[in-house]
Amino acid sequence: MARGFLTHDDLPYRPCVGIMLINREGLVLVGRRIDQTVEGWQMPQGGIDDGETPLEAGLRELKEEIGTNKAKLLAEMDEWLCYDLPAHLVGVALHGRYRGQRQKWLAMRFLGEDSDIDIKTHEPEFAAWKWLAPEALPRLIVPFKRDTYAKVIAAFRDVAGPEA
């Protein structure tokens, strides 16, 4: 630490869960973030609270971000994936406390109807949402998350299709 300032390398990664929510047709839910100046879509994700399992955090995050947790677990990635924030967001995003996120990704089947999804939650994060084919995700995601999304798509390729 130089002259009392935290550098990128001094900051920890935020423990986080990410959810690839897959509908019956094999499409994945993404939301357009409210707080971004560039158009950025992402799958639901959020911090893992102390004492929570990734699945518990995932179900809570779905309820907080899209108004429903009507979903069942299909698969969980074995590894944790990390991404770093771009330099201009370090100290700003994630309450300024983290260099990026360390994520456990879950594939979940959406069990509800589109009418169950309500992004006008208590603390809204998304301005819009839609279903997309998994292969379309990397084109819409912010650049610093593209590598993570490519790994998630590859890991869940076998479970991300239409419901049998």
Q: Do residues 82 and 153 lie in contact, with contact meaning Cβ atoms separated by under 8 Å?
A: no
Neighbours of 43 (CB within 10 A): 20
Q: Do residues 31 and 129 lie in contact, with contact meaning Cβ atoms separated by under 8 Å?
A: yes
Domain segments of the chain as ranges: 18-155
Token pair in block for residue 163: 């419901």
Q: Which fold has domain 18-155?
A: Nucleoside Triphosphate Pyrophosphohydrolase (3.90.79)
Beta pairing partners, 107: 20, 75
pLDDT single digits (tens) 91-113: 666 666 777 889 999 999 999 99
Q: What is the pLDDT of residue 3?
A: 43
Q: What is the pLDDT along the chain (164 residues), one digit of tens a residue?
A: 444 455 567 788 889 999 999 999 999 999 998 877 667 899 999 999 999 999 999 999 999 999 999 999 999 999 999 988 877 666 666 666 777 889 999 999 999 999 999 999 999 999 999 999 999 998 888 888 899 999 999 999 999 999 87
Q: What is the pLDDT of residue 95?
A: 61
Give one DSSP letter per residue of 41-77, joined into a string: EE--EEEPPTT--HHHHHHHHHHHHHS---EEEEEE-
3-class SS of residue 163: coil
Give one DSSP letter per residue of 63-128, joined into a string: HHHHS---EEEEEE-SS-EEEEPPGGGTTTSGGG--SEEEEEEEEEEE-S-GGG-----SS--EEE
